[in-house]
Amino acid sequence: MEPGALSDFIERYPRLFVLTGAGCSTDSGIPDYRDADGGWKRAQPVTLQAFMSNPLTRRRYWARSLVGWQRFGHAAPNATHYALARLGQRGHVERLVTQNVDRLHQAAGSTDAIDLHGRMDLVRCMECWRLQPRSELQDELLSLNPSWAQLHARTAPDGDADLDGLDFEAFEVPPCSYCAGVLKPDVVFFGESVPKERVEMAMDHLQRADAMLVVGSSLMVYSGYRFAQAAATQGKPIAAVNLGRTRADDLLALKIAQPCAQALSFLLEDAAVCA
């Protein structure tokens, strides 16, 4: 790959459909799930089926989340988020679609990003569908389980923490305060589909774009990979910035195997010159 190849790609295809993944947020202290070969770095995350059917799974989930949220809830955007926001301000982004649930693109100024997999800062009741801020539930979890607040554990993806070997039966999880339903983070769990209208909205934007740019995603999950498939079907070139293998490697017009912030740093240098 020659220096300037990504910059040339963006000049040549000025309306980009941008799809981002966990690699964008690792510099913000949020680990990703996959290694350079696209394999799992850790145990697979909890599935929707396990979460909904097993109260102990929910206790364990929220105990780990209570600890993980203390850092995840305070993560700040990094140079990659700012570079992509800058790309949008320059009018090069038809739409940014992210597989991340951390809201860091929005925090950096990409205000209309589509959260394909939902938002970790919101909690939904699975009975009455009411939403509440995750920070409110955090306060409740802390007051019900004060001793758990002192635990420290290695941060895991999606606001999770590596916490095991504890008596999760003792962890109290509040139900919905309106209907006593099960509360779940407003994110798409493994084993759950992305809402159809969200996929259709993103596909509409892909249709209007003239190329696709993947940043920090291995595209191993079908919900992201399908956009690369659709772009290829529509004859739209795809560029990807990702350190490891992606599932779409044989569909790519351009592959930049560099850390995201490094590959996109030219966008911020431009901004400095203009300012």
Q: Verify binding: residue 181, Zn ion, rule CB under 5 A.
A: yes
State the nearest-atom distance from the C-beta of 173 to Zn ion, in Å: 14
Q: What is the DSSP string of 218-274?
A: ---SHHHHHHHHHHHHTT--EEEE-SS--TTGGG-SEEE-S-HHHHHHHHHHHHHHH
**Which one among 1, 76, 128, 149 touches Zn ion, defined by CB under 5 A?**
128
Q: Of 143 and 177, which has the nearer Cβ to Zn ion?
A: 177
Q: Of 84 and 176, which has the nearer Cβ to Zn ion?
A: 176
Q: Verify binding: residue 123, Zn ion, rule CB under 5 A.
A: no
Residue 205 is a catalytic residue: no
Give the tokens for residue 83. Answer: 């570079």
**Which one among 29, 41, 136, 178 touches Zn ion, defined by CB under 5 A?**
178
**Which one among 101, 108, 125, 239 touches Zn ion, defined by CB under 5 A?**
125
Q: Of 1 and 180, which has the nearer Cβ to Zn ion?
A: 180
Taking only Cα atoms into account, the Rg of the chain, rounded to an integer number of angstroms, comes to 19
Binding window for Zn ion (CB under 5 A); candidates: 48-56, 169-177, 192-200, 220-228:
169-177
Is residue 137 a contact partner of residue 57, using CB atoms and an 8 Å limit? Answer: no
Selected catalytic residue, list 81, 117, 152, 205: 117
**Phi, psi at 161, each rounded to 5°:** -140, 145
State the nearest-atom distance from the C-beta of 132 to Zn ion, in Å: 10
Q: Verify binding: residue 131, Zn ion, rule CB under 5 A.
A: no
State the nearest-atom distance from the C-beta of 214 to Zn ion, in Å: 37
Size of the site for Zn ion (CB under 5 A): 7
Q: Verify binding: residue 104, Zn ion, rule CB under 5 A.
A: no
- Residue the block writes with tokens 């009411």: 130
Q: Verify binding: residue 179, Zn ion, rule CB under 5 A.
A: yes
State the nearest-atom distance from the C-beta of 174 to Zn ion, in Å: 11
The span from the CA of 163 to the CA of 156, in Å, is: 10
Q: Of 1 and 179, which has the nearer Cβ to Zn ion?
A: 179
Q: Of 45 and 181, which has the nearer Cβ to Zn ion?
A: 181
State the nearest-atom distance from the C-beta of 51 to Zn ion, in Å: 16
Q: What does the buried/exposed string (b/e) look like for 114-130 if buried means 16 or more CB atoms within 10 Å of the residue's CB?
A: bbbbbbbbbbbbeeeee
Q: Of 176 and 263, which has the nearer Cβ to Zn ion?
A: 176
Give the tokens for residue 42. Answer: 């850790």
Q: Verify binding: residue 183, Zn ion, rule CB under 5 A.
A: no
Q: Which residues are catalytic?
A: 117
Q: Which residues bind Zn ion (CB under 5 A)?
A: 125, 127-128, 176, 178-179, 181
